[in-house]
Amino acid sequence: MCGIVGFTGKQQAAPILLEGLEKLEYRGYDSAGLAISDGERVNVVKCMGRLAALREKSNNGKSVAGCVGIGHTRWATHGRPSDENSHPHVSENGRIAIVHNGIIENYAQIKEMLINRGRVFKSETDTEVAAQLIDYYYEGSILEAVAKASRELEGSYALGIICADEPETIVGLKSHAPLIVAYGEEGNFFASDVMAVVKYTKTVSYLEDDEIAVVTDKDIKFYTSFLDEIKKEKVTVDWDISSTDKGGYEHYMFKEIMEQPEAVKRTIAPYIIDGRAELSSVLDKAYINSLSRIYIVACGSSYHVGVIAKYNIEKLARVPVEVVLASEFRYCDPIVDKSTLVICISQSGETADTLEAQNEAKRLGALTLAIVNVEGSSIAKSADKVIYTKAGPEIAVATTKAYSTQLAVTILIALYVAECRGTIAAEEYAEIMRQLDVLPVTLEKILADKANIQRLAYQHFNNEDLFFIGRNIDYALSLEGSLKLKEISYIHSEAYPAGELKHGTISLVVDNMLVIAVASYGKLVDKTLSNALEVKARGAHVMGITTDSLRSHVEKATDEIITIPDAHDVLLPSLAVLPLQLFAYYVALYRGCDIDKPRNLAKSVTVE
């Protein structure tokens, strides 16, 4: 959610921090701020709104001089968005400044204790409580004060701290929220995301829970919360800095839509060997044959990937699959044992609900498999097995290429499990593998037809209520199409199984309402079209999405149509999602929305 970055070196810190915060804007935020040590005191500048407002208020960082500092973009949790609640927060005497990602769950008890000891608070935040607590324990060593405070703080947090009395030092502290340190030639960094520092260095170390980093311009040292010094591995991040730029596109989201063919190709290539889905390095064949059940646990778009994966795995491998929202998994008493595979899907690898669900599955004895996009992320490190998608950095809040690469991985899993269990005919297996191998080329063909989708978006961008309908995998895909549209265009949109319309929802259909009927699954197209005619009879305008071979059939029940190439059923959602992404993008563009940073949303949800 929030973004944090720190720098200590020989250059002015504020411009470097502002630049780093810009790279973290994709995480979502409603305010931003800087705290800079000038060698004598800590100077803070912060405000509500976008980074442009902070740049203006700080004169592009020139008004806060100093070579050591911390920066923050805040997404409000405790306390409404305001200048006062913006980070950084300082202790009552101004000695300690702090930035914070996450939630301190026992802040109220600590705050009451500090108030009883005479401390005065200025904000509504849990973060100021941490700053005051660290200052309360400060007796000449910021490291010792942070260590003492860490043993009292409960929750999910990553903290960056500077102290006026130790002006060359930044301290980082992590507990269930991401934090890295980075080694640069002209200084050292810490950040919540490597994206903030990759311009300056690709050498990083990852903090584990309850570890403390002491960062100066010359050195970085690591300690436990009981001040035992520890050694950390240095890791080289394999990211091309150009992948974090827009590359000439108007928006990151559009760039990432267009990058999907290459991202899918990078993701599936290592697991296709001699025309077969080869995952034995991840899942042993003997284990696959012992499986009694699979859970897929995820949030948001990753959950929608799971819904499609359920249809595909059950269809091909004949293993029962249950898809559960990660925020519900821990609390539904899941039936899990050693014969259960729990697949956890997350773009960032830091999704708090998914991480906790994965830990619960491990506690219950299941084997856990993570599908994530970020190496070294918390979910990746916690899982028993990992498959990395190769989407590369995804900057836009609304996911596109991460969704497509996750979906491709689940198809590989379905094929591998089906072959291991002998539930798929050789001819069908070979045909799916052939189509999967050329999937990137097929995706490029669909993207080449974007002008038609842009035309349709222009005709319908003024709609305020919209339905997506479909059956089976078409319904599963409709969930993602609806979410994309509402995320970035702010149109009220819902996805329904087409057969459920008659059971209440059809009462909401009015004249000229747009209904998008996803009708690519051949076995159920006629039933979906029957439902499309029902809404047309009540005044709706119906847009169909179908395959080339079904075009003439679907046209009879729709007002306009988008087609995708013919494909095996399991691959249809991988193709049809592209028109839905493009439609959402163009609708949001015509509505003048902030496409890459939609209101109230965060890219990585690191708190429950």
Single-letter code of the amino acid located at 590:
Y
Residue 304 and residue 323: Cα distance in Å, rounded? 9
Residue 156 and residue 454: Cα distance in Å, rounded? 42
Q: What distances in angstroms separate CA 88 from CA 71, 156, 160, 170, 231, one per listed residue?
A: 7, 18, 9, 13, 29
Q: State the DSSP code for 207.
A: P
Clarify whether 234 is annotated catalytic.
Answer: no
Residues 413, 371 contacting (CB under 8 angstroms): no
Select which of 2, 67, 299, 593 is catalytic. 2
Single-letter code of the amino acid located at 422:
G
Residue 571, classed as helix, strand or coil, is helix
Residue 414, classed as helix, strand or coil, is helix
Residue 195 and residue 182: Cα distance in Å, rounded? 11
Residues 493, 485 contacting (CB under 8 angstroms): yes
Query: Within 13 A of 160's CA, how many CA atoms are on the CB side?
Result: 33
Instruction: Tell the burial category of 250 from Cβ atoms under 10 Å away from its Cβ (0-12, 13-18, 19+).
Output: exposed
Clarify whether 2 is annotated catalytic.
Answer: yes
Select which of 148, 174, 484, 603 is catalytic. 603
User: What string of DSSP letters covers 82-122?
Assistant: STTTSSPEE-TTS-EEEEEEEEETTHHHHHHHHHHTT----
Which residues fall within 8 angstroms of residue 96, CB to CB, at 6 or more apart?
42, 90, 131, 132, 134, 135, 138, 142, 145, 161, 162, 163, 164
Residue 22 and residue 26: Cα distance in Å, rounded? 8
Single-letter code of the amino acid located at 175:
S
Residue 481, classed as helix, strand or coil, is helix
Catalytic residues: 2, 603
